[in-house]
Structure 1
């Protein structure tokens, strides 16, 4: 398996080079040169596998023996041994058609752990095998930062710097990042929004000389390993329902900000998984929902919401979808992204828009609707949703056909967003690991939102 850029100006490279490159050197995003097709017979065999066993089989399709199978198995086993549930990503049944896929049983109580525990171990493995320096630079709207830090803290040969928007993440998310006092960890709170953080990251990775000189590696979902790791739980969720007697297609409703999680579902479907609808759930920062309904991709006014990890206007994985939407034509993608850089707007019409609407259903969830959904599910099912999962549940309920089987991806433990949940007079008990955070000192530097200031901090740290 080789990897190519969505903009076509990078020669095909192997898996390890792809994860080290992160953002493609031509400014595009890396994708597999071809998408492996999984037969019905293979799907039947995979149904009996544990989560780590399934992850090993799927990763093997993309790693192409660059990592010996025994080594890859150890990476996978070590990564998912840190999860609190034996199933890693269990599916909870609420009624005959509603299911919740719990992705928050990792060390930081967020779905990002599924990919970042693996990527952290993978970086450590590559560093040891190749004697290379790994300097990780990432931006977070809340959960990626804590998961990334947890994945690499204290590891030999690795340093990590995470940018987060100052005072625009939940208190627990902030504490999970900033109470880490390891020498290889730097937390920078940027005065601005997540989109500002993400722009700085992309600009610094696009500066190829700076990227090479300081050995910058990506931890955000611009890194293709993140996407590949997230495809696994779509297959695993489907197999869990199949074991309960369900047959036929299943819809997935995905709380969406950066388009990485739902793109992983899109990739799983293209591999051969029997997916009905991919429901794209946004909050009031609804650029992606507007794109699906109108064909216009254009940032609007930023809105702070109860689901801050989705407070994103420019989705970093959107370019990967454009690549497939336009028949894997890098020239068209390059033109569209140049147009977006110039005009902050992409317009899709005609057959392309029809394809978008065939690939996704979409719904934008308002702030009050999000809270209403938390209350409704708590009263009706005795199940407490975090506000991001509530957006996914609201979108699923709005768009599901009668009797349609739908799985809502639960992206975080509700304890991470108690500020929102308390607004509906619902009390919860914090898990002990989260409760302990409130007594720890914080280690964070507040910085302005300029590339130059961040560069100077990085030069000093790295």
Structure 2
């Protein structure tokens, strides 16, 4: 079923329980992309996103919303590049209000949601799962949106201390936190079930996770921005992506289809290597998450894999539905050999251990004075080990500020300014605790909002 951009923004999933995907991708000519080299970030975002938005928002309104979405970032370029080695770079995506890449999608989504809810004169529930950064970014962005209530599910024992302190300190009448006795994957499963069985017809339900198409749109711009900065849109470039979310991988994959000269993508994982096993051995499985030094990557269920499969299988709905059905029932998935080889033409992967992560942080700091967090370290190491070309620049997505890992870095003798945001002022507590499969309690909570 075809829907417009407004309905996509104000949704969790499609009516059949799947994710929204574009019927076709815009294709930009090389010279057109090159002409964007001098544009500020918000203007570039408009050029990249507008074909997906169509006539759903007038041009002036959309440009205003994009400019407002970047207004709380601490760096004037929003996403600066930092060179870490010969032809190797980190794209710093952590200069937003909560110091993670999730701010790009959250700040834009909050403004789009508010714009469309006001147009409809409706209210919404913004719902999602987090193991730290995604939920904090959503809360920060939506707490000023009077038309929405935010419901955040998080694993009771799976959120890093700093992020957990900030989550627990949030005491806002329109923010409800649900501590789940289970893993992040359990939280994701509960959210998926809620989106498919939404009990509150009087409110729109809107996912704040990257299953919402706005998250992919925001991340598309990362790639255009980096390619234009390093090669004016003409020079082939590779990317290394720490796999905290598959949305970044999918966004890079379709950015190449849209005309960017991306020659390689490296998917960097930690010990939780479900994605690495997919690209290495063509076997994807639901695994028990292990705790590591890069906790945002401690998961094995990636919603945007469904969108990626839709592209690989050339928009074959039935084939993708069959694959997702198999994974839902068995927890395992194998791609057709042709599709797996198609993915491997551009995508490589590597699983980085905690020991390698610490060594990469230490050696990079020793050799350059530059500080990275554990998530970025997995990407930087994978980029150096598995880049296919020494000529093409290799860019690692730096998704989380090192200021969020001050305790770990301090143990390594690396002192980083904390840049802590002040904790929220005490207020009415909105914290709930449930078991990993307790959908009934969640229905009761949502029904009372």
Given the two structures, how large is their TM-score scaled by the length of structure 2? 0.95
The alpha-carbon deviation at position 127 of structure 1 amounts to 1.3
Query: Could you tell me how far apart the structure 2 residues matched to 1:57 and 1:176 are?
Result: 35
The alpha-carbon deviation at position 225 of structure 1 amounts to 1.0
Q: Does 2:292 correspond to 1:305? A: yes
Root-mean-square deviation over aligned CA pairs: 1.8
Q: Does 2:182 correspond to 1:192? A: yes
Query: Could you tell me how far apart the structure 1 residues matched to 2:219 and 2:365 are?
Result: 28
Q: Does 2:109 correspond to 1:109? A: no
Within the candidate set 427, 430, 437, 2:423 is matched to 437
Superposition pairs for residues 295-444 of structure 1, below 5 Å?
295-401=282-388, 402-431=390-419, 433-434=420-421, 436-437=422-423, 444=431
Conservation of the 8 A alpha-carbon contact between 1:370 and 1:390: yes
Query: Could you tell me how far apart the structure 1 residues matched to 2:257 and 2:234 are?
Result: 19
Within the candidate set 236, 243, 246, 1:256 is matched to 243
Superposition pairs for residues 131-150 of structure 1, below 5 Å?
131-150=121-140
Superposition pairs for residues 28-107 of structure 1, below 5 Å?
28-107=18-97
Number of the residue aligned with 1:225? 214
Query: Could you tell me how far apart the structure 2 residues matched to 1:57 and 1:411 are?
Result: 23
| Closer, same or farther: CA 438–204 of 1 in aligned 2, 3 Å | closer
Conservation of the 8 A alpha-carbon contact between 1:287 and 1:313: yes
Conservation of the 8 A alpha-carbon contact between 2:173 and 2:430: no
The alpha-carbon deviation at position 438 of structure 1 amounts to 9.5
Conservation of the 8 A alpha-carbon contact between 1:138 and 1:220: yes
Query: Could you tell me how far apart the structure 1 residues matched to 2:293 and 2:57 are?
Result: 42
Number of the residue aligned with 1:3? none
Number of the residue aligned with 2:230? 241
Conservation of the 8 A alpha-carbon contact between 2:230 and 2:393: no
The alpha-carbon deviation at position 301 of structure 1 amounts to 3.1
Conservation of the 8 A alpha-carbon contact between 2:103 and 2:137: yes
Unaligned runs of 5+ in 2: none
Query: Could you tell me how far apart the structure 1 residues matched to 2:409 and 2:378 are?
Result: 13
Query: Could you tell me how far apart the structure 1 residues matched to 2:425 and 2:447 are?
Result: 32
The alpha-carbon deviation at position 238 of structure 1 amounts to 1.0
Cα shift readout 1:216-247 (whole Å, capped 9, x = no counterpart):
1111111011101110011011111125xx95
The alpha-carbon deviation at position 214 of structure 1 amounts to 4.2
Conservation of the 8 A alpha-carbon contact between 1:258 and 1:314: no
Query: Could you tell me how far apart the structure 1 residues matched to 2:173 and 2:200 are?
Result: 21
Conservation of the 8 A alpha-carbon contact between 1:280 and 1:360: yes
Figure out how many residues of one structure are paired with residues of the other and give that number: 446
The alpha-carbon deviation at position 359 of structure 1 amounts to 3.0
Conservation of the 8 A alpha-carbon contact between 1:56 and 1:73: yes
Conservation of the 8 A alpha-carbon contact between 1:22 and 1:224: no
Query: Could you tell me how far apart the structure 2 residues matched to 1:212 and 1:371 are?
Result: 49
Given the two structures, how large is their TM-score scaled by the length of structure 1? 0.93
Secondary structure in 2 aligned to 1:446?
strand
Worse-superposed segment, 111-120 or 297-306: 297-306
Query: Could you tell me how far apart the structure 2 residues matched to 1:174 and 1:286 are?
Result: 24
Secondary structure in 2 aligned to 1:363?
strand
The alpha-carbon deviation at position 458 of structure 1 amounts to 2.1
Secondary structure in 2 aligned to 1:176?
helix
Secondary structure in 2 aligned to 1:32?
coil
Worse-superposed segment, 395-404 or 274-283: 395-404
Cα shift readout 1:270-303 (whole Å, capped 9, x = no counterpart):
1111101111011111000100011111123321
Secondary structure in 2 aligned to 1:70?
helix
The alpha-carbon deviation at position 94 of structure 1 amounts to 2.2
Secondary structure in 1 aligned to 2:21?
strand
Query: Could you tell me how far apart the structure 2 residues matched to 1:214 and 1:129 are?
Result: 14
Conservation of the 8 A alpha-carbon contact between 1:257 and 1:315: no
The alpha-carbon deviation at position 451 of structure 1 amounts to 1.4
Cα shift readout 1:57-88 (whole Å, capped 9, x = no counterpart):
12211110210011101100111011100001
Worse-superposed segment, 99-108 or 42-51: 42-51
Secondary structure in 1 aligned to 2:290?
coil
